[in-house]
Structure 1
């Protein structure tokens, strides 16, 4: 448990809370949180999660632009309906295949002790972040599932602050799901 991990956790919690409130300012906060967690994860040999933070920075910039386009006068963004079930399941299946490919890379070229879990959680986090940037309410359901498994992974790695944060993310995701449902 380092000062860096605490700073990353606090920035992440603030970013997720702001996202649940549908406030555009969530995105720059999430950029800072991702940069901090990138360093934390490299130190913990969670290479897929470290690389994921770079992807999150890019997706946060994308989300920022998307949300600026969808902002209402009061500063909150409009929640959009998800695409068709067929398209959503295509996203889920394609993400699973990408995660399996990443797991093979991690297994062969890194010392990651849990390449499958690290890779699949990273892949589905990208999908959840993309759906959130697109303002799909369903992103919160995927975040709940991913965050439960991340909590276990981080406990196994001894990242106790981060494990507690991700357990809290499950609650924040449930709250985000509820708040975004009220906005539809």
Structure 2
């Protein structure tokens, strides 16, 4: 049993630091706490180097996007807090969400084709699907939209398989935890007060 456990968690300090920061980040997002952002900045920086080392280039480049979009999200969250300090969930029309999904599919095909053609990416279409969904999910999360959690659930399911097959067992295990947290986040945000976001 212990041998199985240590095989799953691995022993690389940088990956474990990223795992801990990632769990703290998502846990605070579920609580709609602005304090998720310091951990978010740390985790994306660490995972840029981890993914680059494992030739998961779409995911590595995605961390640069995450770093930039978190600056944007921090600004939106600071302006969208209730009196208790928690951010207020902003509604998103179904038609608008459908447009985001269409744009996500276009980005997925474009990135996957580029990675398959011009790099030695280990799993270009799988990797790019995670990247494209994550781009949309993080943008929607930055805008405080409930629908971000649906995309994060899809990302987590895809990521568990990809990272496990690439030998990143601690990261795969992290995404199992993320999947549980995303489901929890969806449930909690559905119960949260909703108000219109700033245009």
Shift of 1:7: 0.7
Q: CA deviation at 1:28?
A: 2.2
Shift of 1:73: 2.2
- Is 1:111 matched with 2:128? no
Aligned counterparts of 1:40 and 1:22: Cα–Cα separation in 2: 28
- Alignment of 1:175 with 2:179, yes or no, is no
| Residue of structure 2 aligned with 1:140, choices 146, 149, 152 | 149
Q: 2:135 aligns with which of 126, 129, 136?
A: 126
List alignment gaps of at least 5 residues for structure 2: 1-9, 194-199
Q: Which runs of 4+ in 1 moved over 4 A?
A: none
Which secondary structure does the structure 2 equivalent of 1:158 belong to?
coil
Q: CA–CA distance in 2 between the matches of 1:79 and 1:132? A: 9
1:72 matched to which residue of 2?
A: 82
Larger Rg: 2
Partner Cα distance (2:162, 2:20) in 1: 19
Q: How does 1:1-184 map to 2 (within 5 A)?
A: 1=10, 2-82=12-92, 84-184=93-193
Alpha-carbon separation, structure 2, partners of 1:51 and 1:160: 21
How many corresponding residue pairs?
A: 183
The question of whether the paired residues in 2 share the 8 Å contact of 1:140 and 1:174 is answered with yes
Unaligned runs of 5+ residues in structure 1 are: none
Q: CA deviation at 1:71?
A: 1.2
Task: Tell me if the contact between 1:103 and 1:116 (Cα under 8 Å) persists in the aligned partners.
Answer: yes
Q: What TM-score results when the alignment is normalised by the length of structure 2? A: 0.89
Distance 1:37 1:28 in 2: 15
Shift of 1:95: 1.1
* Cα-to-partner distance string for 1:128-173 (whole Å, 9 max, x where unaligned): 0111111111111111111011000000101000000001111001
Root-mean-square deviation (CA), in Å?
0.9
Query: In structure 2, what is the Cα distance between the partners aligned to 1:126 and 1:20?
Result: 19
CA contact (8 A) 1:137 1:180 kept: yes
Distance 1:113 1:174 in 2: 29
